[in-house]
Amino acid sequence: MALKHKKNPLTFQGENKNKKYFEGWYFKQVSSDLKNIISIIPGISKNDTDSHSFIQVIISRALEGRMQLNTQYYRFSANDFKYMYEPHCIIIGDNIFSDEGIKLNFSNDEYSIQGNIRFSRLTKINRSIISPDAMGYFSYLPFMECYHDIISMNHRLEGVLTVNGEVFDLNKGRGYIEKDFGTSFPKEYIWLQSNHFGDTDASIMFSLAHIPFLGFSFKGFICNFTFNGREYRFATYNNSKAVKTFYSDNFIKLAVTKGKYFLVIKAEICRDSGGLKAPVNGAMDNIIKEGLTGSVDIRLLKDSKVLFAGKGNPCAIEFIFP
C-alpha cells in the first residue's frame, strides 16, 4: 500500500482497512472571474457503526453583491465506492474523480449537481525516495493519525457544472487537488491554500497541526510554495523552522525558514465559513469550519532579497485552534 501511493497520490490507500479508517480527496475549482468557487470532497468512512461513502460540497458564489456560502453532505453506501488503478480514478455512484477531471451527477432534497470538468497542466510536487510525498519520510511510518498529500498545486479547468439549474462556467478557471487518509483529523490545526496571486502561476499550501507521535505530541508543519516552475518546501521533516506563529479570530501570521530562505505568511480569515464533516476514528462525527474567500499575503526571501511578494485572493482557510 505504501509504495502504491508514491507512484500516484490519487491511489486509494484503504483497500485492506475494515474499520476506524477514512480517506478523502479535495478538489477545489475557482472560476476565472472569481465569482464561483466549488470544492468537491469525495471519500469513504469505515467504522463499526456507520460505514459509508460520501461526497461533500462547499460552494461560495457571488449573489446580490456578496459571496454566499453553502455546504452539503451527500451519503452513499460503502458499496457505491469503487476504485481503479489503471487508469487511477475513484468512483462513487455515477461520479468519477481522477487527475484528468471529474464527472458529477448527484442530488439530495436541497441541491443537485451535474457536469464535467477537465484538468490540464497539473503542477505536481517534487518527490524522491527520502521525500516521497508532501509528508516526507513521515509517510513511511505506519502509525500516523493522518496522512496528507498534494496531487496538484495548480491546474487549468475546462467545463461547466450545473448547480440547481444554475450554470457554473469554469472554463479557464484554476484548480487544486489534495488528499488525506488515516484514522482522524488532527484535533488542532491551521490549513490554508491559494493559487490566485494575480496573473502569476504562484500557489501555496500551508498546514500546521498538533500531531500525536509514540505517546507524545508535537506541532508539525508543511508548507509548499510553487512559482515560475520551481518548488520551495518548508517542513518539519526537512529541518525547516517555524520562527513565528500568531493567530486570532481574524488573522494568522506565520514565518518559516530553511537555510537561506525565509517565508512570511499573513492570512485574513474568511468572514463566512461552512461546516464540513471530519473523521474521528474513521467515523465522520466531527464538524470543522472552512471558508473559501479569505486572503493571504506572502513574501519569500533568500538572503534578505525578495524573490516573490504577492497577495492570494481568494484563499481557502481552515482554522481549528483553541
For 153-181, write each residue's pLDDT tens digit: 999 999 999 999 999 999 999 999 999 99
Which band of pLDDT confidence, cut at 50, 70 and 90, is reported for residue 1? very low
Query: Looking at residues 77-99, what average pLDDT do you find?
Result: 95
7 pLDDT more than 70: no
- What is the distance between the alpha carbons of residues 131 and 136, in angstroms, rounded to a whole number? 4
Share of the chain above pLDDT 70, in %: 97
38 pLDDT more than 60: yes
Measured CA to CA in angstroms, residue 133 lies from 6, 108, 149 at distances of 7, 36, 6
Q: What per-residue confidence (pLDDT) applies to 251?
A: 92
Sorted by sequence, the CB contacts under 8 Å of residue 221 that are 6+ apart come out as 206, 207, 208, 209, 234, 235, 236, 240, 242, 256
Question: Of 51-65, 180-194, 220-234, which gets the smallest average pLDDT?
Answer: 51-65
Q: Higher-confidence residue: 30 or 319? A: 30
Task: Decide: 35 and 201 in contact? Cβ < 8 Å.
Answer: no
Q: What per-residue confidence (pLDDT) applies to 85?
A: 87
- What is the distance between the alpha carbons of residues 118 and 29, in angstroms, rounded to a whole number? 11
Which band of pLDDT confidence, cut at 50, 70 and 90, is reported for residue 143? confident
Question: Of 6-20, 71-85, 163-177, 187-201, which gets the smallest average pLDDT?
Answer: 6-20
Query: Looking at residues 188-216, what average pLDDT do you find?
Result: 93
Query: Looking at residues 239-262, what average pLDDT do you find?
Result: 92
pTM of the model: 0.95
Q: What per-residue confidence (pLDDT) applies to 9?
A: 86
Q: Higher-confidence residue: 9 or 26? A: 26
Q: What per-residue confidence (pLDDT) applies to 119?
A: 98
Q: Tens digits of per-residue pLDDT, 256-273?
A: 999 999 999 999 998 789
Count of CB atoms within 10 A of residue 38's CB? 25
Which band of pLDDT confidence, cut at 50, 70 and 90, is reported for residue 20? very high
- What is the distance between the alpha carbons of residues 274 and 287, in angstroms, rounded to a whole number? 10
Q: What per-residue confidence (pLDDT) applies to 6?
A: 55
Q: Dmax of the chain from CA atoms? A: 56
33 pLDDT more than 60: yes
Share of the chain above pLDDT 90, in %: 81
Count of CB atoms within 10 A of residue 79's CB? 9
Q: What per-residue confidence (pLDDT) applies to 214?
A: 74
Sorted by sequence, the CB contacts under 8 Å of residue 70 that are 6+ apart come out as 58, 59, 111, 274
